[in-house]
């Protein structure tokens, strides 16, 4: 694999760019692998990458029923933050945010990480108290956040209207080192690095069954034939329940659609990410000038990846009160992603009742921001059977009542 650099760009320019190789190989499935991952999204690719980089396990296949990064990784609003309330959540999200800062250098691929800052608006007195509590918890956790008043909010976001008719802005939780990254580039960068290690990325390969003997996983059935494995990682977001059923166990998750839209490109007007959880709307401006707008999850279980007029109306109406300029924009496109919700709005990174089978799911609306941290911890769990970042997120917590309640910090997921 050629390293990307300014010198390589100049060299290929002199050669009419004929010397570039494929970013990742188009592999054919082998009969057996040490590890198989189902799902070539950000979490699956990141886990495979850290499994190879940290533990030297490279006889790995990453199976994807569609195209690489075509699920939730390519259908989100790219927000990165770690200002969660509970200690286990703050630890894994802060690990992810820290890894994002050096990810472009680590992967030799520009993921366009932009630490522009994330501001979560407090528009009720209940939210003020909640965010102040989170700021105190973050201080103890070593996560850099602060609660700011309305005047500071206006300095950070000059286009904001503080005295909204229904929900005036009373302050906000500010994380200056949060931000955004390019969602496709994150998946492509990890895929390129995995392929360079010799791992097989197999697209258009849907898993139709999970094989086992004497309570231990032995492989999977796919649309491209049976493939054996020693360990199996399920990383399929909203389809986790379907895959778990194939393996003979159930997961405490439900799948719903989370919708988003982008406006036509406009001149730069907002250089931070703003989340308004009371009215279920959040917004940032992309490098192309589009206003990236997200809202709440659907109130009913579904597997649709389309948008709906109801959510356009509900989300944009709420944001117009706080950002009047939104009313003059035209919508460019809209989409939905299938998110997997747990009862406590925290993820599952765990062994399963089937020996050798591991599951990574339940990220709800916060999956993209966690990709590097999730991959780091889940790789250690699969390699060693135990990982400090993952211990609290095991399946056992639902039976034992050890919930990690993030319904407030998750914002739009409650």
DSSP state of 37: E
Mean pLDDT of 69-75: 91
Average pLDDT over residues 277-291: 91
pLDDT band at 139 (very low <50, low <70, confident <90, very high): very high
Q: What percent of the chain has pLDDT over 70?
A: 98
Q: Is residue 8 part of a domain?
A: no
**Three-state secondary structure string covering 273-296:** EEEECCCCEEEEECCCCCEEEEEE
Please check whether residues 55 and 103 belong to one and the same domain: yes
* pTM of the complete model beyond 0.85: yes
> pLDDT, tens digit, for every residue of 109-135?
999 999 999 999 999 999 999 999 999
Q: Say yes or no: 67 and 204 in one domain.
A: yes
Give me the mean pLDDT over the 32-45 stretch. 97
Range of the domain at 171: 118-179+255-342
Q: Has residue 209 been placed in a domain?
A: yes
pLDDT of 175 reads 98
Is residue 14 in some structural domain?
no
Q: Of the candidates 342, 370, 388, which is a domain's last residue? A: 342
pLDDT averaged over every residue in the chain: 93
pLDDT digits (tens, 9 = 90+) for 98-111: 999 999 999 999 99
pLDDT of residue 414: 38
6, part of any domain: no
Does residue 204 lie within any of the structural domains? yes
Q: Over 90: is that where the pLDDT of 296 sits?
A: no
pLDDT at 178: 97
161 with 75, same domain: the answer is no
**Same structural domain for residues 190 and 326?**
no
Which of 310, 342, 374 is the C-terminal boundary of a domain? 342
- Residue 134 belongs to a domain with what CATH number? 3.30.9.10
| DSSP per residue, 221-288 | EETTEEEEEEEEEE--GGGHHHHHHHHT---SEEEEEEEEEEE--------SEEEETTTTEEEEE-TT
**pLDDT, greater one: 312 or 189:** 189
Q: Are residues 324 and 361 in the same domain?
A: no
Whether pLDDT at 165 is above 90: no
Using pLDDT thresholds of 50, 70 and 90, give the confidence band for residue 413: very low
Residue 384's pLDDT is: 97
Q: Decide if pLDDT at 238 tops 80.
A: yes
- Which of 327, 342, 357 is where one domain is finished? 342
By three-state DSSP, how is residue 358 classified?
A: strand
Instruction: Answer yes or no: is pLDDT of 412 > 60.
Output: no
* 246 and 306, same domain (yes or no): no
**Pair 379, 55: CB distance under 8 Å:** yes
Specify if 297 maps to a domain: yes
- Domain co-membership, 300 together with 260: yes
Domain membership flag for residue 2:
no
pLDDT, tens digit, 9 for 90 and up, residues 376-393: 999 999 999 999 999 999
pLDDT at 410: 59
Query: What is the rounded average pLDDT of the residues 10-19?
Result: 89
Number of domains in the chain: 2
Q: Quick one: three-class SS letters along 180-207?
A: ECCHHHHHHHHHHHHHHCCCEEECCCCE
pLDDT of 205 strictly over 60:
yes
Same domain, 239 and 155: no
Residue 408 has pLDDT above 70, yes or no: no
91, 222: one domain: yes
CATH (domain of 75): 3.50.50.60
Tell me whether residue 411 is in a domain: no
- Please check whether residues 338 and 350 belong to one and the same domain: no
Q: What is the mean pLDDT of residues 335-350?
A: 92
Query: Could you give the 3-state DSSP secondary structure of residue 114?
Result: strand
If asked whether residues 104 and 46 sit together in one domain, one would say yes
- Answer yes or no: is pLDDT of 33 > 70: yes
**Domain co-membership, 297 together with 322:** yes
Q: Are 170 and 60 in contact (CB under 8 A)?
A: no
pLDDT tens-digit readout, 263-282: 999 999 999 999 998 888 89
Whether 18 has a pLDDT exceeding 90, the answer reads no
| 302 has pLDDT over 60 | yes
**pLDDT at 409 exceeding the cut of 70:** no
């Amino acid at each position: 694999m050629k390293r990307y650099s300014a010198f390589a760009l100049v060299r290929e320019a002199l050669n009419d760019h004929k010397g570039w190789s494929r970013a990742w190989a188009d592999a054919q499935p082998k009969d057996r692998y040490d590890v198989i991952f189902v799902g070539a999204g950000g979490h699956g690719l990141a886990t495979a990458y850290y499994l190879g980089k940290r533990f030297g396990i490279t006889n790995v296949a990453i199976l994807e029923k569609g195209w690489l990064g075509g699920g939730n990784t390519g259908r989100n609003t790219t927000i990165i933050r770690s200002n969660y309330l509970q200690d286990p959540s703050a630890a894994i999200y802060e690990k992810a945010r820290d890894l994002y800062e050096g990810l472009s250098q680590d992967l030799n691929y520009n993921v366009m990480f932009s630490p522009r800052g994330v501001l979560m608006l407090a528009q009720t007195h209940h939210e003020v108290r909640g965010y102040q509590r989170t700021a105190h918890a973050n201080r103890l956790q070593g996560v850099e956040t602060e609660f700011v008043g309305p005047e500071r909010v206006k300095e950070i976001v000059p286009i904001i209207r503080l005295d909204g008719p229904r929900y005036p802005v009373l302050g906000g939780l500010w994380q200056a080192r949060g931000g955004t990254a390019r969602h496709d580039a994150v998946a492509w960068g990890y895929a390129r690095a995995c392929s360079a290690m010799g791992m097989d990325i197999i697209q258009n390969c849907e898993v139709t069954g999970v094989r086992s003997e004497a309570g231990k996983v032995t492989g999977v059935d796919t649309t491209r034939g049976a493939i054996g494995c020693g360990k199996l990682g399920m990383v399929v977001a909203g389809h986790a329940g379907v895959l778990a059923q194939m393996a003979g166990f159930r997961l405490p998750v439900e799948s719903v659609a989370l919708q988003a839209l982008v406006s036509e490109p406009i001149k730069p007007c907002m250089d931070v990410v703003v989340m308004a959880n009371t009215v279920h709307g959040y917004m940032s401006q992309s490098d192309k000038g589009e206003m990236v707008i997200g809202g709440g999850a659907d109130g009913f279980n579904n597997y649709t990846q389309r948008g709906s007029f109801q959510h356009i109306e509900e989300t944009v109406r709420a944001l117009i009160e706080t950002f009047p300029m939104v009313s003059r924009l035209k919508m460019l496109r809209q989409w939905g992603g299938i998110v997997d919700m747990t009862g406590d709005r925290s993820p599952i990174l765990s062994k399963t009742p089937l020996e050798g089978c591991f599951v990574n799911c339940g990220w709800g609306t916060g999956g993209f921001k966690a990709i590097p941290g999730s991959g780091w911890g889940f790789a250690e769990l699969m390699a060693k059977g135990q990982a400090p970042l993952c211990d609290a997120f095991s399946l056992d917590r639902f039976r034992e009542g050890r919930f990690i309640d993030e319904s407030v910090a998750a914002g739009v997921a409650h």
